[in-house]
Structure 1
Amino acid sequence: MNAVIAIIAAYLIGSISFAVVVSRLFGLSDPRTYGSKNPGATNVLRSGNKAAAALTLLGDGFKGWLAVWLAMFFQQKFELSSDTIAAVALAVFIGHLWPVFFKFVGGKGVATALGVLLALNIWLGLATFVTWLVVAYAFRYSSLAALIAALFAPFYYGLLFGADLTLLAVAIMSGLLIYRHGANIGNLMRGKESRIGSKKK
């Protein structure tokens, strides 16, 4: 029962869409109505409000970290297995992708995935973040950086900890993240993908 409660709680935490919440607080347009129509930090940045984009990024990353950290903090007290921690990590990520509070229309999960990885292991998260940062700096495409970082995340985990159910959870997150970037992949191939910092039309 404790495991089920932890997984549901993680999903609900993930369902808080900071892109929408922060945009409303700043009096900005709903990020689901312009640019890529994705409720995420990169699209909020297209509004021209860097503070709102930064808060969105921090909020989405923090909720991923928080859900996993809470499960790990209370792991012994509530007798949560390592498999439950893996399920919590996946649940908070799925909550961001398909949030119950916002008609199941969520973001692509980059910041939330990073928060999850940092909570699971700081070196895992940092390695994945550095991968994103290098690609983003070199090519100025957030989507391309996210795709490459997603491909490397399971590799980094396996290198650090070997094969277990948490590796499976990380691999599923990576697969879902790549799936949610389907339109971006098409735009990258056609040379029509928006670069980091481009304003909304």
Structure 2
Amino acid sequence: MAYLYGSVPFALVIGKVFYNTDVRTKGSGNLGGTNAGRVLGKKAGAAVILLDGTKCIVAILITRLLAAHFNLSDDLFYFSALACIIGHCYPIFAGFKGGKGVSSAIAYTLMTNIYAFIFAVCVFMFTLKTTKYVSLSSIIGSVSVAIIAPFIGLIPPHWHYSTVGIITNFVISALIVYKHHANISRIKNGTESKVQWL
């Protein structure tokens, strides 16, 4: 269920329903908030980012409720979150060609550890302010969470990731880096687009 909800291509739905535009044919062709903002405008981009963020929020909340009801491990929500992000990146409803998982990953971090969320947002915004590359900001932000995850429980009140959570963070980070491989090449070549609408 988490994978299926993650597979809902909100950028495609908003583009076709409200703008009569298939965002896959314009800009980077990516089904994410950044390309939706570039192609459809700031409001559409923000809407896609928010809707993509709800994917992990809903998946985690439902999984935690079910786990509590059936007396199962609370760590199950990590698997739902990962399935949701995989669905966003490889959606069954859009030919397995989706977004890059950033908005959903940010929501995942918000739902799992507020310290990690604040840290990731600060890293993302600082990188974006200095480089204007959303792709690079996303990569560095996600990697930063994976790096600090094993140590974040040392901060009072000791909200820490479990071992499963730490592993999940590394997998999500690796997936986001992989999904940005074309962006990394363009950054190296100096051809990556700098975003002005954010």
Shared topology, TM-score over 0.5?
yes
1:26–1:52 Cα contact (<8 Å) kept: no
Which residue is 2:128 aligned to? 136
Select 1:109's aligned residue among 86, 101, 114. Answer: 101
Q: Deviations along 1:29-56, whole A, 9 cap, x unmatched?
A: 2111111111111101112521111100
Between the aligned partners of 1:163 and 1:64, the Cα distance in structure 2 is: 18
TM-score by length of 2: 0.90
User: How far, CA to CA, are the matches of 2:96 and 2:109 in structure 1?
Assistant: 23
Match of 1:182?
Answer: 181
Stretch of structure 1 that moved more, 23-32 or 54-63: 23-32
In 1, Cα distance between equivalents of 2:161 and 2:5: 28
Q: 2:52 aligns with which of 54, 57, 60?
A: 60
In structure 2, the CA distance between the partners of 1:197 and 1:45, relative to structure 1 (3 Å rule), is farther
Structure-2 residue corresponding to 1:84: 76
Partners of 2:68 and 2:74 within 8 A in 1: no
CA contact (8 A) 1:71 1:80 kept: no
Q: Distance in 1 between matches of 2:77 and 2:121?
A: 21
How far apart, in 2, do the equivalents of 1:104 and 1:86 lie?
Answer: 22
Long gaps (5+) in structure 1: 1-8
What CA deviation, in whole Å up to 9, does each residue of 1:55-94 have, x standing for no partner? 0010011112221122123321023313322211111110
Give the C-alpha shift of residue 18 in structure 1: 1.1
Change (3 A) 1:175 1:133: same
Q: Distance in 1 between matches of 2:64 and 2:114?
A: 14
- Aligned residue type for 2:41: N
2:143 paired residue among 148, 151, 159: 151
Q: Distance in 1 between matches of 2:41 and 2:167?
A: 37
Aligned with residue 22 of structure 1, among 8, 14, 30: 14
Larger RCO (CA within 8 A; separation ≥ 6): 1
Question: Which consecutive unaligned segments of at least 5 residues does structure 2 have?
Answer: 153-159
Rounded Cα–Cα distance in structure 2 between residues aligned with 1:23 and 1:142 = 21
The 3-state SS of whatever aligns with 1:195 is: coil
